[in-house]
Amino acid sequence: MYISGAEIVIACLKEQGVDTVFGYPGGAILNLYDALYKHSDEIRHILTSHEQGAAHAADGYARATGRPGVCFATSGPGATNLVTGIATAYMDSIPVVAITCNVGVSLLGKDSFQEIDIAGITMPITKHNYIVKDVTKLAETIRKAFCIAQTGRPGPVLVDIPKDITAEKTDYKPAKIESIVPIPEDISEKEIEKAVSMINKSRRPYIFVGGGAVLSGADKELMEFVNKSDAPVTDTLMGKGAFPGTDKRYTGMLGMHGTKTSNYGVSGCDLLIVVGARFSDRVTGNTKKFAKNAKILQFDVDEAEMNKNVIITEGVTGDIKEVLKKVNEKLKQQSHPEWMNKIQEYKRKYPLQYHESVLSGPFIVEEIYRQTKGDALIVTEVGQHQMWAAQYYQYTKPRTLITSGGLGTMGYGLGAALGAKTGCPEKLVVNIAGDGCFRMNMNEIATAVRYQIPVIQVVVNNHVLGMVRQWQDLFYEKRYSSTVIEDAVDFVKLAEAMGAEGIRVTTREEFEKAFTRALELNRPIVIDCQIDSDEKVWPMVAPGAAISDVFDESDMKQE
């Protein structure tokens, strides 16, 4: 076929099985949108309210489905508006392919109208990126982009195409795209033997699960491994759902806002088995005091993560699913009754607690869990509400918590919720936001209404930047510098102005009724939940402290 560069891009997307693209058109990308118009019955385009919303939607689509998310943007400010979304995907290892179009090849490097070196800008926050200056190399480049985004440790790839390349024509030959699968033979048998030996010798093992277990689809293998190891399980924010939060071995999240059980347990174990986690500072606290009594065994697809933040004893490099398969084959049944009893005692002694007489963040999350029966895709923004969503919703399946972990992107959730619902239309999708986060990308409510994407937007509205204020309260002598949001913004009227339903609630009973109504409506809705400004996330570890120094409200009252 002799077709244009723009038509080649669309043909390559169809090869990859892409069914949805999120984006925003502009002058430099017009040829691509013109080609997309001719294939609108095969590839759905969602016009977001802002390019950042498109990047987050592509990210949410990828997290929910496991398939690469795709977003389009034009040159200059259109491309730069994708940057935060690309960085968010990069930090959490999410496969996103961002396609931008630039000024013509002859205009590059001349400060032309809406010209920007988007490849240079995104180099540190992509797995790889390209600028295609030869139309004959375009199809090959698009195919490479999708392969790189999904191979090994996933991540975003950007392809920048000058406008004249989208207009030029060349011969195009369709290609059959093979499924990308991990190669078990790449895993060292010697490393597996060492890992099994360490587990056999351990008397107090603890399994620490991260996002890698979710990305590799290793939940079944992980369950077998946990049962064989007879060990308690903790996780990161990104690892939620890889191991069921309802299982008796599960002890809650680890780290700054982890449970006392997990923090004390990891601090007292003799072997920490790390399954697809990268030792974020929010998990480890003071690295010199982290799991200081334990040997550390790490499983990760990315060898660069070994000994990066925490010095480990041994590591196995490979896809988590394949590593666990090999370990499970060789590992004999373990039994640690004394250790497991001690952990269960911790769980009984240190449960999560909150004030049950008023409308609060934890209550809102627990009520969402009760009414959805734990069978929803929960999306969050970043802050206190994010931690409550991690603590109080029990995730039993992978890819059911969609949140910005590494970058901590405020404004992420609503766009991601639209992407998740588009990719999984049969799933109930709830985005939980703080009022500060909601303001950042609340314009995407208009997108939800335009396409009738029935997401439930819950705003935990404390009229402050909650997590920052919490730090100011605890560590800055209550100097609330620029964290109090005192204005007349009405989220209910805002929702109605954009064509959505809006409900304000101030009590637990009102929220119960409002969320029930949201489930019945099956259309975009915003529930504005008024809670106290001084509500805090407990437990907590102070910055720079050991995770064993975890404290909560009851500890502060005893001081």
- What is the set of active-site residues? 51, 113-114, 163, 467
* Eight-class DSSP state of 538: S
> Which three-class secondary structure state does DSSP give residue 333?
coil
Q: Are 310 and 279 in contact (CB under 8 A)?
A: yes
Tokens of 80: 């730069």
Computed from CA positions of residues 469, 470, 475, 477, in that sequence, does the dihedral angle turn out positive or negative?
positive
CA atoms within 13 A on the CB side of 457: 42
The partner residues of 432 in beta bridges, in order of sequence, read: 380, 458
CA-nearest of 373, 358, 361 to 508 is 358
Burial environment of residue 14 by CB neighbours within 10 A (0 to 12, 13 to 18, 19 or more): middle
* Eight-class DSSP state of 102: E
Give the count of beta carbons closer than 10 Å to the beta carbon of residue 275: 29
> Cα(397)–Cα(406) distance, rounded to whole angstroms?
21
In this structure, the strands spanning 429-434 and 401-402 are unpaired
- List, in sequence order, the alpha helices (H) in 21-65: 30-37, 51-65
Q: Are 432 and 39 in contact (CB under 8 A)?
A: no
Residue with tokens 């030996």: 197
CA-nearest of 416, 366, 316 to 53 is 416
Q: What are phi and psi of 542, to 5 degrees?
A: -65, 150
> Cα(417)–Cα(396) distance, rounded to whole angstroms?
19
Q: Which residues of 104-121 are buried (b: 16+ CB within 10 A; e: fewer)?
A: ebebeeeebebbbebbeb
CA-nearest of 160, 142, 136, 159 to 4 is 136
Tokens of 23: 């984006």
Question: Would you list the DSSP string of 336-391?
Answer: -HHHHHHHHHHHHHS-----TTS--HHHHHHHHHHHHTT-SEEEE-SSHHHHHHHH
